Every structure is written in structure tokens, then in C-alpha cells.
Amino acid sequence: MNTRTHTDPHFTPLDPGLYAKAFQLLDPAAQPPAPAVAAPSGFTLTAPPVVRPVGPVEKTLTDALAHLDAHGWARGTLISPEGARCSIGALRAAAGARNGAYCAAGNLLLDEARRQHGKQWESIPSWNDRHTGAQVRSVWEAAVRRARHLNI
């Protein structure tokens, strides 16, 4: 195969910053992928994407929300006969123990519940039992986003 791009008069080289500009316009919060690096022998290698470490609080919240998605959400009980869980039950299932990540995730979840539904909530169970599934999910998703933003 012969790919002479440097001597081809019809070849237009791509502005290296163009891709980064387009990427920024599509998703202003995301980082553009790393630029390609020329390897010996003429192959082009792309640098591996930067992997953001997931903090223990974000992981606990994400795992608990996945548990709710898989097994269902419950109100008025820790675990329903069908296996659905309330918010505290999901946190306990995700954390595995009442460790630091469990406590911090619970505090973040309750703080987000208070932000969205008022300061009167004393505990996650009382808030969980007095709201709809959609309202509870909204708080969970916001808590995950905050944990990600705080990198905890």
C-alpha cells in the first residue's frame, strides 16, 4: 500500500488543534483525548486515555445506586421480601460494612436530600420513606455527581 500524503497535492493536512476545539464544543466539561504520537517504523500510536481514579465515596454511592437499579427501591423497610432495599439498605449492601466510605456516602446523600427537599430531614430513612422513587433517584444521582466532582 502506498500512502504518500506529503507529496500528494490533493492532501490537506489536519490542523492538530481542530479536533481539540471540536471536542470542547461538543462537551465543554470533558478533556480532549491525548494527541497521537509517531512511533518508529511509521505507525501512529495514540496515548492511552487518562483514567480518573474513583474515590471510595463515589464508588459506594455508584454501587448502591446500581444495587437499587438491579433489585428495586423500597420504602418503609430495610429490605422487602422481594429483595428491594431502601436507601440505607442499598448503602449497606454497597459498602459491605459501616466503614468510612459508608458514613461519608450517607452524609453526602443526606446533605443532597436536604438540598433538594428541605433541611427538616433528620435521617436518610425518614427522607427515603416520604418521597417518590423519582425524587429519591434524583438525590442519588446528584450525590454521585457531587462525589465525582469532589473526587472523594
Work out the pLDDT band at 65, boundaries 50, 70, 90. Answer: very high
Distance between CA 75 and CA 83 in Å, rounded?
12
> For 121-130, how does the pLDDT look when each residue is reduced to its tens digit (9 = 90+)?
999 999 999 9
Cβ atoms of residues 93 and 141 within 8 Å:
no
Question: Would you give the distance in Å from CA 59 to the centre of its chain?
Answer: 9
Q: How many CB atoms lie within 10 A of CB 65?
A: 21
Q: Does residue 35 come out as left (phi exceeding 0), alpha (psi in the -120 to 50 range) or beta? A: beta
- Find, among 96, 73, 99, 94, the residue nearest to 85 by Cα: 73
E strand map for 19-145? 36-38, 44-46
Backbone Cα Rg of the chain: 23
Residue type, 86: C
What are the pLDDT digits (tens) for 97-150? 899 999 999 999 999 999 999 999 999 999 999 999 999 999 999 999 999 999
